[in-house]
């Protein structure tokens, strides 16, 4: 009788583990951790993602662009992104359509965010762009419909078209005084000494 009871407990535990594994597969697309390289020069930049959907980039120098294929199968399940110091760019399209990302942490000294890098990251609410950022390329945050707050650094020298196009919830856009090229007025980015605004 006791053996039968123990067998029942074991079967219940195995069923619970199977359910957990199924949930992880559906929710994150990964089990345990995965890793790879994504540097413009091969392995100069590496990525790793854990079972909770936390993606980390590390290394030195620029990241490659991802205009034709995703960073890895299941990347759309990523929930947070951390870029460690030393990585100098976010590649074009690298996290496009990752609708579960809520948190992005970018290091000082990053110089470029590529075109459509965070396009349609619909869960993203706040972005603090790092000091030293020079270029924010076309459509970088396009379609981030829950993005409410963006803080731009004074270092920016180039902003592409439609960077915040479709960011319908964006209410706070700040830019420190002293930038030679751009200013924010009434929630719009203006090119200094030029006509027109940026989206």
pTM over 0.85: no
pLDDT 10s digits, 67-121? 888 898 888 889 999 999 999 999 999 999 999 999 999 999 999 999 999 999 9
- 27 confidence band (pLDDT: 50, 70, 90): low
Would you state the structure tokens that stand for residue 194, as one six-digit string? 């030029």
pLDDT of 1 above 70: no
- 25 confidence band (pLDDT: 50, 70, 90): low
Q: Say if residues 173 and 166 touch (Cβ distance below 8 Å).
A: no
| 190 Rama class: left (phi>0) / alpha (psi -120 to 50) / beta | beta
CA distance 173 to 182: 12
- Bigger pLDDT: 176 or 135? 135
Q: To the nearest whole percent, how much of the chain has pLDDT over 90? A: 59
Q: Which of the residue ranges 27-41, 120-134, 173-187 would you say has the lowest mean pLDDT? A: 27-41
Question: What are the Cα distances from residue 189, in Å, to 5, 59, 82, 156?
Answer: 69, 32, 27, 12
Average pLDDT over residues 156-185: 88
pLDDT of 134 above 60: yes
Per-residue model confidence (pLDDT) at position 30: 47
State whether residue 17 is helix, strand or coil: helix
Strands (E), 10-53: 34-39, 42-49
């Amino acid at each position: 009788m006791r053996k039968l009871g123990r067998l029942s407990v074991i079967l219940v535990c195995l069923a619970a583990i199977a359910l957990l594994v199924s949930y992880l597969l559906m929710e994150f697309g990964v089990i345990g951790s995965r890793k790879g390289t994504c540097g413009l020069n091969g392995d100069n930049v590496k990525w790793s993602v854990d079972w909770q959907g936390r993606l980390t980039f590390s290394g030195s120098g620029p990241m490659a662009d991802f205009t034709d294929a995703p960073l890895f199968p299941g990347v759309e399940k990523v929930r947070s992104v951390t870029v460690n110091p030393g990585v100098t760019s976010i590649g074009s399209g690298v996290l496009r359509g990752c609708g579960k990302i809520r948190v992005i942490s970018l290091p000082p000294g990053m110089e470029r965010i590529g075109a459509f890098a965070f396009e349609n990251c619909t869960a993203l609410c706040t972005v603090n762009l790092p000091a030293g950022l020079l270029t924010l390329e076309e459509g970088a945050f396009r379609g981030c419909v829950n993005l409410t707050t963006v803080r731009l650094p004074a270092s920016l020298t180039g902003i592409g078209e439609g960077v915040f196009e479709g960011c319908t919830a964006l209410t706070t856009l700040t830019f420190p005084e002293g930038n030679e090229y751009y200013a924010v007025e009434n929630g719009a980015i203006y090119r200094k000494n030029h006509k027109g605004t940026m989206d």
